[in-house]
Amino acid sequence: MKRNIAVLQGDGIGKEVTRGAVEILEAVAQRYGHDFEFQYGEIGGGAIDSTGSPLPDETVEICKNSDAVLLGAVGGPKWDNQPAHLRPERGLLKIRKDLNLYANIRPISYYSSLSESSPLKKEFIEDVDFVIVRELTGGLYFGKPSERVEKEGKEAVVDTLFYQKSEMKRIIELAFSLASERKKKVTSVDKANVLESSRMWRETAEEIAKDYPDVILEHMLVDNAAMQLIKNPKQFDIIVTENMFGDILSDEASVLTGSLGMLPSASISTNGPNLYEPIHGSAPDIAGKNLANPIGTILSAASMLRLSFGLEDEAKAVEQAVETVLEYGLRTGDIANGQPTITSTSEMIAEIKANL
Amino acid sequence: MKRNIAVLQGDGIGKEVTRGAVEILEAVAQRYGHDFEFQYGEIGGGAIDSTGSPLPDETVEICKNSDAVLLGAVGGPKWDNQPAHLRPERGLLKIRKDLNLYANIRPISYYSSLSESSPLKKEFIEDVDFVIVRELTGGLYFGKPSERVEKEGKEAVVDTLFYQKSEMKRIIELAFSLASERKKKVTSVDKANVLESSRMWRETAEEIAKDYPDVILEHMLVDNAAMQLIKNPKQFDIIVTENMFGDILSDEASVLTGSLGMLPSASISTNGPNLYEPIHGSAPDIAGKNLANPIGTILSAASMLRLSFGLEDEAKAVEQAVETVLEYGLRTGDIANGQPTITSTSEMIAEIKANL
Ligand SMILES: CC(C)[C@H](C(=O)O)[C@@H](O)C(=O)O
Ligand SMILES: CC(C)[C@H](C(=O)O)[C@@H](O)C(=O)O
């Protein structure tokens, strides 16, 4: 199989971790007889420095011409005081819109070998296995107006939470179709006791549920969801929610199992290439020190193999190799939890490759 | 001292827990020579049933004529399928507006006797002691438009996040003044990388910080705050944030220490009586069974003594009595964590009274 992969390394540890994923993808190609070509594009702070834009047109072109996009991470203190339109994160928001990445999928899974690193007691997180499906191109993130206004002569400001019903439909449908292949339960999170948009969301979920008689639909208010994630995360299978609630809840969920550095994500496009990236940020404090955990990005590459290329065996092989090195006890600093020997980024990559 | 207290029992366990707080307030009055008069008003589902409105005008009058308001909880399955304007929670939203309750204050504290009930490992929550200050009358909760719209012939919906700068000022000022009497740190939570309202919020916080040179101001993005609450809750002193973020984060925070049923809250008015209520809901499943934990409401009454009446000694006496019965090992079901003997609501109230 021949595939073009766009690689956007970004800032901070982005370079190190994407390098790891590319090495693993190359090893997979060799082993299974595929031909993966990699095209590199700039995004984030580095792109601002070299082109004046956090997402140059050239990068968008490279992505549109690819079969899938691999992203590292963006941002760093150097760009923290820039005006809003020259911030690295703008590159992320823009690529989501430009590639129509309407759904962000984040599996939260428990690694028994890592329970020590979790803030939660083992009995609360053991066997946790759920997926957050976050709407990614609507809501407060893109609604207009978003501006300063004067009201009765006083300074004020407005942001807008806007959704088309069709945008709700497609993401909720995706959630149901994922649930029907898993534990058959969708928890739709909203704030229907306050927001009109949430009431439309809830109705839409009810409508779609009719097409999936074997999947249970449950509604949960966002404040309660923020509690339930901590009190009883095992209850969840698929959580689906709008953009801002999803931003907050998926970050909350990512620290439950103590394995933030290991969590992958996939952003699904309506019509073009999907984008795969780890959940963690650019970690400027450890950038370039060979300390970053490459597993989140390597598992994102595994998702790419599965979801974009349909290469289930290859995806499983990568995931299995990761499990194996963890069982050996290899740990980068973020998951070492006091263990004396720490594995470097490059060793971790080499070991995963060796265990493919 | 003579004071009028409005009591809104509400639904579910609301009656039982407010009864407990009233008994304690009566005992305090007798012991310290005060004269507290109680006026009862309806709110929530019960009010809908008897008057057709979740917050009858008469209740608002009773509150406005009082020196402080004590609230139980509202809501229950009976009213879950009512149209929005006939839902018990509407009573809550309306009373916030009618009494100008612009700030909700929720202290999150650790009880060493309850560490067993927490989902978090002890080392993460030991000595946690922070306060969430949530804006309560602005933002997405009250912004207009909030309605279905048609856009290019398609079904859509809009909600509005609106703030006046003056609304941001008064709540952030309150946060700084609280911090200056505590650990002298304010964490202002926003989403300034996405929302214009958050950028105004951040600027406002910077302006107010200038008047409090001994208080440290830190900005944190809401998604990161959702993580940090779990990863390292000890870092916080005062967290201040807008209405919707505050709704989500304060509920998240309330389950960290395992003592949800014990947490009080105070809502501060710009110009009239403050309102005091426990954080927990109406728990219809255990209503009327003498099983509810009355401590959240009793500690809310203690906050009333302190904040509305300036009775610091009396407030401390109530808090001390609660600590004492917990040290004896008395536990309602919610905090029993497997302990065989469970204390009933009425016994718990009697024991706290006896230890005043
Ligand atoms: C950087 C920021 C704009 C972004 C978001 O809020 O979506 C990030 O938090 C994320 O979740 O990918
Ligand atoms: C019942 C609901 C409208 C309310 C809110 O969202 O403010 C509740 O969750 C709260 O926090 O008091």
List, for residues B118-172, the tens digit of each pLDDT value: 999 999 999 999 999 999 999 999 999 999 999 889 999 999 999 999 999 999 9
Reported confidence tier of residue A237, pLDDT bands at 50, 70, 90: very high
Tell me, yes or no, whether A245 and A266 share the same domain. no
Reported confidence tier of residue B81, pLDDT bands at 50, 70, 90: confident
What six digits make up the tokens of A14? 């982005």
Tell me, yes or no, whether A9 and A94 share the same domain. yes
Tell me, yes or no, whether A164 and A84 share the same domain. no
CB–CB of A256/A118 below 8 Å?
A: yes
Average of per-residue pLDDT across B299-317: 98
What six digits make up the tokens of B154? 């398609």
Whether the CB of A252 sits within 6 Å of ligand 1: no
Q: Which atom of ligand 1 is nearest to the CA of B221?
A: 9
Domain closes at, from A207, A224, A255? A255
The Cα–Cα gap between A335 and A261 comes to 8
Residue B260 CB-half CA count within 13 A: 22
Domain-embedded: residue A120? no
Reported confidence tier of residue A35, pLDDT bands at 50, 70, 90: very high
Domain range for B62? 1-107+259-356
Instruction: Give A137's DSSP letter.
Output: S
The Cα–Cα gap between B83 and B93 comes to 15
Reported confidence tier of residue B80, pLDDT bands at 50, 70, 90: confident
Domain-embedded: residue A124? no
Name the residue type at position A24. I
Which residues does residue B70 pair with via DSSP β-bridges, in sequence order?
Answer: B7, B276
B140: buried, middle or exposed (CB in 10 Å: 19+, 13-18, 0-12)? buried
Q: End-to-end distance of chain A based on CA atoms, in angstroms?
A: 19
Tell me, yes or no, whether A47 and A72 share the same domain. yes
Nearest CA to ligand 1 atom 2: A89
Nearest CA to ligand 2 atom 2: B89
Provide the shortest C-alpha distance from residue A250 to chain B (in Å).
8
Give the pLDDT confidence score for residue B337 in this predicted structure. 85
Report CB contact under 8 Å: A161, B163.
no
**Residue percentage of chain A with pLDDT more than 70:** 100
Give the pLDDT confidence score for residue A339 in this predicted structure. 86
Average of per-residue pLDDT across A78-102: 93
Q: Does A337 touch chain B (CB under 8 A)?
A: no
Q: Determine the residue of chain A that is closest to B194 in CA distance.
A: A141
Task: For the beta carbon of residue A13, count every other beta carbon within 10 angstroms.
Answer: 30
Give the pLDDT confidence score for residue B210 in this predicted structure. 98
Average of per-residue pLDDT across A315-322: 98
Residue B83 has pLDDT above 90, yes or no: no
Tell me, yes or no, whether A245 and A264 share the same domain. no
Residue B74 has pLDDT above 90, yes or no: yes
Residues 6+ apart with CB under 8 A from A207: A169
List, for residues B32-56, the tens digit of each pLDDT value: 999 999 999 999 999 999 999 999 9
Q: Determine the residue of chain B that is closest to A149 in CA distance.
A: B164
Sheet (strand A101-109) strand order: A35-41, A2-10, A68-73, A274-278, A264-269, A101-109, A129-135, A238-241, A185-190, A216-221
Q: Does A356 touch chain B (CB under 8 A)?
A: no
List, for residues B254-307, the tens digit of each pLDDT value: 999 988 999 999 999 999 999 999 999 999 999 999 999 999 999 999 999 999
Residue A263 has pLDDT above 90, yes or no: yes
Tell me, yes or no, whether A263 and A328 share the same domain. yes
List, for residues B118-131, the tens digit of each pLDDT value: 999 999 999 999 99
Domain-embedded: residue B191? no
Report CB contact under 8 Å: A248, B245.
yes
What six digits make up the tokens of B120? 């978090």
CB–CB of B187/B158 below 8 Å?
A: no
Average of per-residue pLDDT across A109-137: 93
Domain-embedded: residue B146? no
Residue B141 annotated in active site: yes
**Which residues of chain A have a CB within 8 Å of the CB of B252?**
226-227, 229-230, 252
Give the pLDDT confidence score for residue B292 in this predicted structure. 97
CA B2 to chain centre: 25
Whether the CB of A101 sits within 6 Å of ligand 1: no
Q: Does A230 touch chain B (CB under 8 A)?
A: yes
Number of domains composing chain A = 2
The Cα–Cα gap between A75 and A43 comes to 10
Domain-embedded: residue A115? no
Residues 6+ apart with CB under 8 A from B16: B287, B288, B290, B292, B294, B345
Task: For the beta carbon of residue B251, count every other beta carbon within 10 angstroms.
Answer: 22
Residues 6+ apart with CB under 8 A from A327: A113
The Cα–Cα gap between B225 and A252 comes to 8
Mean pLDDT estimate for chain B: 96
What six digits make up the tokens of B87? 């839902």
Average of per-residue pLDDT across B77-105: 93
Tell me, yes or no, whether A209 and A282 share the same domain. no
Provide the shortest C-alpha distance from residue B4 to chain A (in Å).
32
Q: Does B85 touch chain A (CB under 8 A)?
A: no
Domain-embedded: residue A122? no
A214: buried, middle or exposed (CB in 10 Å: 19+, 13-18, 0-12)? exposed
Is B315 annotated among the ligand-binding residues? no
Residue B16 has pLDDT above 90, yes or no: yes
Average of per-residue pLDDT across A81-90: 88
Q: Which atom of ligand 1 is nearest to the CA of A89?
A: 1
**Residue percentage of chain A with pLDDT more than 90:** 93
Which residues does residue A132 pair with via DSSP β-bridges, in sequence order?
Answer: A106, A239
Report CB contact under 8 Å: A154, B165.
yes
Is A287 annotated among the ligand-binding residues? yes
CB–CB of B332/B293 below 8 Å?
A: yes
Give the pLDDT confidence score for residue B301 in this predicted structure. 98
Q: Does A1 touch chain B (CB under 8 A)?
A: no
Domain-embedded: residue B171? no
Domain closes at, from A255, A275, A290? A255
A33: buried, middle or exposed (CB in 10 Å: 19+, 13-18, 0-12)? exposed
Give the pLDDT confidence score for residue A59 in this predicted structure. 98
Average of per-residue pLDDT across A293-305: 98
Tell me the ligand closest to B246's alpha carbon: 2
Report CB contact under 8 Å: A143, B158.
yes
Q: Are strands B129-135 and B238-241 parallel, antiparallel or unpaired?
A: parallel
Query: What Å distances lie between residue A36 and A4, A312, B109, B284, B290, CA to CA?
Result: 6, 16, 54, 58, 67
Mean pLDDT estimate for chain A: 96
Nearest CA to ligand 2 atom 7: B247
The H or E element containing residue A242 is: none
The Cα–Cα gap between B298 and B316 comes to 12
CATH number of the domain where residue A278 is located: 3.40.718.10
Rg (CA), chain B: 20
Provide the shortest C-alpha distance from residue A130 to chain B (in Å).
17
List, for residues B207-264, the tens digit of each pLDDT value: 999 999 999 999 999 999 999 999 999 999 999 999 999 999 999 999 999 889 999 9
Residue A141 annotated in active site: yes
Of B323, B318, B292, B281, nearest in space to B303 by CA: B318
Domain closes at, from A255, A287, A320? A255
Cis peptide before B145 (omega within 30 of 0): yes
Tell me, yes or no, whether A298 and A248 share the same domain. no
Q: Determine the residue of chain A that is closest to B247 in CA distance.
A: A223
Tell me, yes or no, whether A202 and A235 share the same domain. yes
Of B159, B174, B162, nearest in space to B200 by CA: B162
Residue B82 has pLDDT above 90, yes or no: no
Tell me, yes or no, whether A76 and A89 share the same domain. yes
Residue A251 annotated in active site: yes
Reported confidence tier of residue B111, pLDDT bands at 50, 70, 90: confident
Average of per-residue pLDDT across A293-312: 98
List, for residues A181-225, the tens digit of each pLDDT value: 999 999 999 999 999 999 999 999 999 999 999 999 999 999 999
Of B102, B191, B237, B276, which one is the catalytic site residue? Answer: B191
Is A85 annotated among the ligand-binding residues? yes
Name the residue type at position B43. I
Tell me, yes or no, whether A138 and A243 share the same domain. yes
Of B223, B231, B313, B328, which one is the catalytic site residue? Answer: B223
Residue A21 has pLDDT above 90, yes or no: yes
Tell me, yes or no, whether A102 and A219 share the same domain. no
List, for residues B54-64, the tens digit of each pLDDT value: 999 999 999 99
The Cα–Cα gap between B104 and B88 comes to 19
Domain-embedded: residue B88? yes
Give the pLDDT confidence score for residue A115 in this predicted structure. 83
Q: Does B245 touch chain A (CB under 8 A)?
A: yes
The Cα–Cα gap between A11 and A284 comes to 8
Query: What Å distances lie between residue B226 and A4, A327, A335, CA to CA?
Result: 37, 30, 20
What six digits make up the tokens of A270? 């309506």
